[in-house]
Amino acid sequence: MEKTEKPSFEDLFAQLEEAIRRLETGDIGLGESLTLFERATRLADQCNAILDSAELQVRQLIERNGEMDTELFEGWQDR
């Protein structure tokens, strides 16, 4: 039995963007809107979980002697 791959953050985010786009058009009925809103909420939760996990990994990687080393992030916006 093959394991199914989890969708990537990028795939989930693209689906979320599409759901939001469809909701914003107002061209769908109330029932479909509610279903789509529910799906968008689940997608947002999945995206947030992935981002939380990534943040934890980054924090673990840059932790030195029990303190955060903020030097690693200084100037990153200039690149």
Q: How many CB atoms lie within 10 A of CB 35?
A: 13
Task: Answer yes or no: is pLDDT of 1 > 50.
Answer: no
Q: How far is CA 32 from the centre of its chain?
A: 23
Which tens digits make up the pLDDT trace of 35-62?
999 999 999 999 999 999 999 888 888 7
pLDDT in tens, 7-29: 999 999 999 999 999 999 989 99
The whole-model pTM stands at 0.72
Question: Do 76 and 68 form a contact (C-beta atoms < 8 A)?
Answer: no
